[in-house]
Structure 1
Amino acid sequence: MSYRKPKVLVTRKLPDIIETRMMELFDCALNLDDRAMSKDELIAAAAETDVLVPTVTDRIDRDVIAAAGERLKLIASFGTGVDHIDFPSAKKRGIMVTNTPDVLTEDTADMTMALLLAVPRRLVEGERLVRSGAWTGWSPTGMLGHRIWGKRLGIIGMGRIGTAVARRARGFGVSIHYHNRNRVAPETEEALEATYWSSLDQMIAHMDIISVNCPHTPATFHLLNGRRLALMKPHAYVVNTSRGEVIDEDALVKALTQGRIGGVGLDVFENEPKINPKLLKAENAVLLPHMGSATIEGRVAMGEKVIINIKTFVDGHNPPDRVIETMF
């Protein structure tokens, strides 16, 4: 691979500036019409390329990796999450995996904060009311929601994004609580005035808002299940900008439609792009099309990381964003 341009296949349309640079550096096959590739197409592509650049919606499973033969050496994923890649199979075949961490933290935290405001204050409901023509003017009891000032926010997953959410929420007078695999540094807790809960169940039972910011791994699948949702206060809200699989969506829909929680703000779904019809009908659900990281700046930064990872690998060095087993 050192004496020729590596064959790089990109599964989806990327920003023009990134595709142009890739074409300059690599023997690059692009997906200009941005049509999602089928499993058969991914299998065929894996067998004919040196570097595969999938996105988080491409399932790079055991069958795709098995079809790769000896040629595929790097899966340079365009995205932070790697739960769409069968990492054990890739490792067994000697295929390195990289991702694009750190560049989406602020964008995702912004979107989380937007949902934290939108759901309790019923912003989307109000917007729909105005557009419908049914709004008759201000009244003392019209469109009453809940203030977030003084409320308790429970963050599940106090990594980069969870910490960025906490920083923003502090500015709105929200008290910060968190549950994490490991307790954060004392200086971080002090700066955020954050309270650590070793018991997720106990934290959930005391919170007014739950924000899901942990990655999807086997250990976090349905972490917020029916039993834990039943612990929530009836006026409490759930916001998820992480991965849909972290929440048992069927249990969430039941809790929502039965009035056992106050509302939800979701940017991700368990079976996306399919959405539970009951969620679509729920007035107290703000639903977004997985757009938490959808900024021009973020997408370009992701592409630049992909290029650096590929170039570093091709030059015989260890890519800066290599995924390791302990991330799972």
Structure 2
Amino acid sequence: MDEPLKLPQQCPSSTHEVIVVLEDVHLSIGGKIDTGSRSYELISYHSISKPDEIRDRVQCASVVIATQAFITSDSLGEAPYLKCIITPTAGINHIDVEECRRRGVKVAKCTGSTSLAVPDHALSLYFAARRKTVLLHNDVRTLDEEERNSWKRQGSIATKMQTANGHPPYSIDEEVVGIIGYGCIGKRLSVLCQGLGMEVLVAERKGVTSIERTSKESVIRHPFKDVVKQATVLFICCTSSSDTKFMIDAAELSTMRPETVIVNVSRGNILNTDAVIEALRKALISGVAVDVFDHEPASTTKDSAFLAEDTKHLNLTFSPHVGYFSTKTVVTMEMMVKNHIKSFVAGNFNNFIV
């Protein structure tokens, strides 16, 4: 549904801010915003994502809140008043930071804003993939002409839960967890997994053989290739960049254990989706669960090869990029966004990327 263009009562100036929220479907900003001595107007849209729609709506803005909307030279247009862009997330792959730098536009992200919810969600995806919950659910709901499902016909479908090498699924205390990306989310995941009795291996950055670490970091990092080879569960929670695109490709998949389940709560392009699907077909790995896709919102193969009709029989578990959503994270994101606005108005850019 097209959302009508909303115009401010007053254009931005040295004494007045116009704050535009492009997607309050993800985060709604309520209550008072501290803009010091400056007045402000808040304009919110439910979901603006197309470049031309973004362009039309940021022309009157001095501050833009963009959760997933792509901020590029094209989607910004002239944007004569724009001075600041804030994302409520920790990821900034949807913002052309260099273009913002060229324009003199400040950029801020909310590091750690989702670190309480995303690890929980990652674990829920792990359990669903390991226990093949989606496939079993579909089997129970699929009836033949005699109104029997496979369970009724066979007496048991427990063997459907077997790993790619034909073994029963691992119990929690048998799992070797590999964590790729040891930021706020990775650290929280490590604590949760260890609390459940899992062995945890934190991966070094891909291609790095040795690196100086501060004495404050007590965790031992293992070579990336070793973690990929040893893990029975691989959690991907690193940031998206040119260095991490297709970090998991055919070469990495070929070295994995057949019991391996991959859980991606980072960004879709960390995985080479075609290679992952081929690995599942060849029984090189046991399952994949993702909360992120190549193009979002995702609904067809144009958005992700995972969504092809001929992948329905594979052990794939999906959620629609909702891992961040919880009571605490919504409150935290709103608070952090408001704090960034306050800092921007005060001229305090210590926590800004640009």
TM-score by length of 1: 0.86
Aligned-residue offset at 1:138: 6.9
The answer to whether structure 1 residue 284 and structure 2 residue 301 are counterparts is: no
Return the alpha-carbon distance in structure 2 between the equivalents of residues 140 and 59 of structure 1.
45
**Given residue 111 of structure 1, which amino acid in structure 2 is its aligned partner?**
H
Residue correspondences, number: 314
SS at match of 1:323: coil
Return the alpha-carbon distance in structure 2 between the equivalents of residues 184 and 293 of structure 1.
29
The 4+ residue runs of structure 1 with deviation greater than 4 A are 14-17, 22-25, 137-143, 182-189
**Given residue 112 of structure 1, which amino acid in structure 2 is its aligned partner?**
A
Aligned-residue offset at 1:230: 1.3
The answer to whether structure 1 residue 67 and structure 2 residue 78 are counterparts is: yes
What's the % identity of the aligned pairs?
A: 24
- What residue in structure 2 maps to residue 309 of structure 1? 340
Q: Which runs of 5+ in 2 are unaligned?
A: 1-11, 144-148, 163-168, 206-210
Q: Which runs of 5+ in 1 are unaligned?
A: none
Return the alpha-carbon distance in structure 2 between the equivalents of residues 231 and 16 of structure 1.
40
The 1:308/1:230 distance shift into structure 2, 3 A limit, reads: same
Tell me which moved more, 86-95 or 3-12. 3-12
Contact 2:256 2:285 in 1 (8 A): yes
When you count helix as a share of all residues, which structure comes out higher? 1
Query: For 1:98-144, what per-residue CA distance to the aligned partner results, in whole angstroms no more than 9, with x for missing partners?
Result: 11221210100001111222211122233333444623397494543
The answer to whether structure 1 residue 144 and structure 2 residue 161 are counterparts is: yes
- What residue in structure 2 maps to residue 322 of structure 1? 352
Contact 1:2 1:314 in 2 (8 A): no
**Given residue 196 of structure 1, which amino acid in structure 2 is its aligned partner?**
R
SS at match of 1:153: strand
Aligned-residue offset at 1:15: 7.5
Say which of 50, 53, 73 aligns to 1:41. 53
The answer to whether structure 1 residue 242 and structure 2 residue 287 are counterparts is: no
Say which of 304, 309, 328 aligns to 1:275. 304
Contact 1:15 1:300 in 2 (8 A): no
Asked which structure has the greater CA Rg, the reply is 2
Return the alpha-carbon distance in structure 2 between the equivalents of residues 283 and 152 of structure 1.
23
Tell me which moved more, 78-87 or 135-144. 135-144
Contact 2:25 2:47 in 1 (8 A): no
- What residue in structure 1 maps to residue 125 of structure 2? 115
**Given residue 298 of structure 1, which amino acid in structure 2 is its aligned partner?**
T
Query: For 1:236-281, what per-residue CA distance to the aligned partner results, in whole angstroms no more than 9, with x for missing partners?
Result: 1111011111111111111112222111011111223123234751
Aligned-residue offset at 1:195: 4.8
Aligned ranges for residues 1-328 of structure 1 at < 5 Å?
4-13=15-24, 18-21=29-32, 26-31=40-45, 34-56=46-68, 58-65=69-76, 67-69=78-80, 71-132=81-142, 134=149, 135-136=151-152, 139=156, 141-145=158-162, 146-147=169-170, 148-181=172-205, 189=218, 195-198=220-223, 200-272=224-296, 273=298, 274-276=303-305, 277-278=307-308, 280-318=311-349, 321-323=351-353
TM-score by length of 2: 0.80
